[in-house]
Amino acid sequence: MVRAFIMVKAVAGKAEGLLGDVRDALGVVEAHIVAGQYDLIVEAERDNVYEIMESVASGIRDLEGVADTRTYICLE
């Protein structure tokens, strides 16, 4: 099982509206609105890195209101 954290920057005023869609994305374990450089922090789990990148990171990036994402794969 591969775990990753995805940082999501939303278009101004869109973070709350994105939260439900992000939580429904395949592989998402948790998602929270946060203060700071990014607007949401998402924890995801899938069977392999390819699945994380394809279904979770790409799926989130394609949501309306997402300005930018950064994906961090856990190494431990």
Query: Confidence band (pLDDT; 50, 70, 90) for 47?
Result: very high
Query: Can you give the pLDDT at residue 75?
Result: 95
Over 90: is that where the pLDDT of 57 sits?
A: no
Over 90: is that where the pLDDT of 41 sits?
A: yes
If you average pLDDT over residues 11-33, what whole number do you get? 96
* CA distances for 58 relative to 4, 50, 52, 63, 68, angstroms: 13, 11, 8, 9, 11
Mean pLDDT of the chain: 94
Order across the sheet with 66-73: list the strands: 28-33, 40-46, 2-10, 66-73
Indicate the residue type of 45.
E
Q: Which CATH class is domain 2-73?
A: alpha beta
Query: Can you give the pLDDT at residue 23?
Result: 96
